[in-house]
């Protein structure tokens, strides 16, 4: 149930406003919106921030000096202090959340009580975040009336556009598909030396925070080992399938991920012999369970920078020999790290 009402009562202004993590500097002509909350790192705060970024505004998160300080005057002052066009105050209250919006462009202040679904969680935070953004848009809708705005901030075309319907990510919902490509290193812990790899992944979201990911790695710069009889060059083609779990909502700026699955790898070793020895080459396949830990950073909407670490351990590692002497092994363990770009879709 959603109830909306306009509050005309004033409360004492903020004495001060403290910057919280995730702050951004105001710029001339920028559409900066301040989120005022006592818990800057809460999932709800991060979801509201993501929804605002999704409609094309810059966001700064502020911490109020004391509880119970929500109201028109302190919110307007908070926005004025950082050069924002508006401030949004989040006040959890029982099973609902009070959302205040002070809009310096139209000079309005409104409050809406958003009743969350019975089960708290990502779905509840998403509904409140969308409601907060729609409340800001509703306040700015006055800019499209015949009367001039009465606020203290000029109504630029970019600000006017915020009130119009959009096909942005807020409507599209969280991403369901991710495709990434990057470069990495297989550390060569078994003694064969490091190799440079190209890494590719395809991620499918099955449920909130839960998904499946296919991985593929191809050696681009082989590992080299020198021996008295010559040199050895080792390459690998790595394939994996895992169940993965996001440790934060997929719309959050930073999303840690953990995955567990199985891998299959084709190993190829080729020897270049010194006289009087003869060179040879051999290939082998091996399977191993894999563990994946990663971190994704959404630097723009629809794109994430990924850092990933993949480890595997096979009970039957491949032994590489030169003139009947072992020079290294592959598979016990395998350790790969990579950095790449992930493209997201929300069909």
Taking only the tens place, the pLDDT of each residue in 126-170 is: 788 888 888 888 878 777 766 666 677 777 777 777 766 554 434
What's the mean pLDDT in 48-61? 86
Question: How far, in Å, CA of 185 to CA of 196, rounded?
Answer: 5
Alpha helices in the chain (DSSP H): 43-54, 72-82, 122-140, 157-162, 169-172
Which residues is 195 bridged to in the sheet?
186
Of the pLDDT bands very low, low, confident and very high (cuts 50, 70, 90), residue 72 is low
Sole residue written with tokens 């105001």: 26
- For residue 307, with 0-12 CB atoms within 10 Å meaning exposed, 13-18 middle and 19 or more buried, which class applies? middle
Dump pLDDT digits (tens) for 315-343: 888 887 777 777 788 888 999 999 999 99
Structure-token pair, residue 54: 């999704």
Q: What is the rounded distance in angstroms from the CA atom of residue 259 to the CA atom of residue 244? A: 4
* Structure-token match 């109830």, residue found: 3
Running DSSP on this structure, what letter comes out for residue 222?
A: -
Mean of pLDDT values over 291-303 = 92
pLDDT of residue 338: 97
In this predicted structure, the answer to whether residue 187 has a pLDDT above a threshold of 60 is yes
Among 54, 51, 131, 93, smallest CA distance to 301 is for 54
pLDDT single digits (tens) 261-286: 999 999 988 877 676 666 677 888 99
């Amino acid at each position: 149930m959603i109830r909306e009402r306009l509050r005309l009562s004033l409360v004492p202004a903020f004495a001060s406003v403290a910057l919280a993590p995730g702050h951004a500097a105001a710029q001339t002509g920028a559409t900066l919106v301040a989120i005022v909350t006592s818990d800057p790192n809460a999932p709800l705060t991060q979801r509201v921030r993501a929804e605002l970024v999704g409609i094309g505004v810059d966001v700064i998160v502020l911490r109020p000096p004391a509880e119970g300080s929500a109201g028109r005057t302190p919110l307007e002052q908070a926005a004025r202090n950082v050069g924002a066009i508006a401030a949004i105050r989040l006040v959890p209250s029982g099973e609902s959340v009070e959302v205040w919006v002070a809009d310096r462009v139209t000079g309005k202040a409104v409050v809406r009580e958003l009743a969350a679904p019975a089960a708290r969680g990502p779905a509840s935070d998403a509904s409140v975040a969308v409601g907060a953004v729609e409340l800001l848009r509703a306040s700015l809708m006055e800019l499209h009336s015949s009367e001039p705005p009465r606020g203290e901030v000029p109504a630029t075309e970019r600000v006017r556009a915020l009130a119009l319907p959009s096909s942005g990510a807020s409507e599209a919902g969280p991403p369901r598909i991710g495709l990434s490509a990057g470069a990495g290193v297989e550390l060569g812990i078994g003694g064969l030396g490091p190799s440079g790899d190209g890494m590719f992944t395809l991620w499918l979201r099955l449920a909130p925070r839960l998904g499946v990911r296919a991985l593929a790695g191809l050696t681009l710069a082989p590992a080299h080992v020198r021996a008295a009889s010559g040199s050895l060059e080792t390459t690998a083609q790595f394939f994996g399938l895992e169940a993965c779990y996001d440790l934060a909502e997929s719309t959050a700026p930073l999303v840690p991920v953990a995955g567990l699955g199985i891998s299959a790898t084709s190993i190829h070793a080729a020897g270049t012999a010194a006289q009087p020895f003869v060179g040879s080459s051999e290939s082998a396949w091996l399977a191993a369970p894999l563990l994946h830990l990663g971190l994704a950073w959404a630097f723009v909407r629809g794109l994430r920078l990924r850092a990933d670490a993949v480890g595997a351990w096979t009970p039957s590692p491949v032994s590489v020999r030169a003139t009947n002497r072992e020079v290294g092994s592959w598979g016990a363990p395998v350790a790969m790290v990579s950095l790449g770009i992930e493209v997201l879709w929300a069909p």
